Structure 1
Amino acid sequence: MSNKVKRVRFWSRIKTRSGAWLRQKWQVLADADTSPQQVALAFAVGTFISILPTPGVNTLLAVLAAFLFRLHKGALLASLAVWNVVVVAPFYALSHLIGQAIWRMVHVSAQATAVPNPTTTLAIGFLLGNFIIAVFLTSTSYAIVRSSVAAYRQKSNIN
């Protein structure tokens, strides 16, 4: 048996196992006793927490939010898994670009004479862009998860 055939078989087994595992976790999440809105809300809150620049603290914030607001813990932790450091890193670069573009427009029109601290300008621009991206991704993830859970439940009730 050639090496190429061995590699193909290996990756097909990995894909099958991981696909079955993901399907099983999705079914547990979608079959929860809560409404699709509650599952989507928990996922959206987890998305917002994950996108904000709080590395290392986001898990603590998510657990705290789950208990304070009685959110679906599985959906909240699933969102933390989806929005991990590798996925979020490009959004940090994008948030810097967006925030700096907006901050320059606001700052130039408001104070053309004062020279601000460069660190403050960078931080405000980054946080502004990050907040805009977090709100966008939060609302988008809410809509996607809500419609996906509702469609899954409707499909499973029909069949």
Structure 2
Amino acid sequence: MGRGRIGRYTERVRGELHDAFREDFTPRELSGSFAIGAFITMLPTFGIGLVAFVAIGYVFGWVSKLALFASVLVFNPAVKWGVYAASFALGTILLGPVEGVSAAGVSFSAGPDIVVRLLVGNLILAVLATILSYVVVYRFARRYQSTAVAETIDETLEEIAETTLDSDSESG
């Protein structure tokens, strides 16, 4: 990926999260929504994850659909292949190597030993990504909302000052 492409991708993720932050959700709801999305997206759901997103968004009113779906931008299909490779490597470290199989020859059709290593590693990475996602988005949301509150207070004070000054100049 070129620098320009990464920059556009980063701006897209930032834009989606910015839109989610402007919704009427608390930082915990936003970060929880993104973290749930990160967990589901990290797992090998083969498209069923999107169905889970719709169901979660429909059933739970506290879930920010924008934050939930923003996680797909971070853990997109291109990134997931790297996640799967790291998952298999982690599973192999934890459970030991599979005889006669190299990292280049990994596929679901290669056998249950490989699938188990892939899923164990993937589950661990998904949990780590979920925790990290929650913390990062929570901090961003808190910072964003405190900045938004400060800007709203400033705007309100300016309006009060203008109104007060206008009424004083009219009466004086």
Q: State TM-score, norm by structure 1.
A: 0.74
Q: Paired residue for 1:48? A: 39
Q: Paired residue for 2:164? A: none
Tell whether the 8 Å contact from 1:46 to 1:76 is kept in structure 2 after alignment.
yes
What is the one-letter code of the residue matched to 2:53? A
Q: Could you tell me which of 92, 98, 103 is aligned with 2:84?
A: 92
SS for the counterpart of 1:124 is: helix
How far 1:15 moved relative to its partner? 10
How far 1:143 moved relative to its partner? 0.3
- Aligned Cα RMSD in Å? 2.8
Between the aligned partners of 2:60 and 2:119, the Cα distance in structure 1 is 25
Change (3 A) 1:128 1:63: same
Change (3 A) 1:18 1:84: closer
Q: Paired residue for 1:74? A: 66
How far 1:17 moved relative to its partner? 8.8
Q: Paired residue for 2:128? A: 136
Please state if 1:102 is matched with 2:89: no
Q: Give 1 or 2 for the bigger CA radius of gyration.
A: 2
Name stretches of at least 5 consecutive residues in structure 1 with no aligned partner: 1-13, 106-117
How many corresponding residue pairs?
135
Change (3 A) 1:63 1:99: same
The aligned runs of 1:119-158 (5 Å cut-off) are: 119-158=111-150
Q: Deviations over 1:65-87 (max 9, x none)?
A: 22223311111111122211012
Change (3 A) 1:19 1:42: closer
Name stretches of at least 5 consecutive residues in structure 2 with no aligned partner: 98-109, 152-172
SS for the counterpart of 1:30 is: helix
The aligned runs of 1:6-21 (5 Å cut-off) are: none
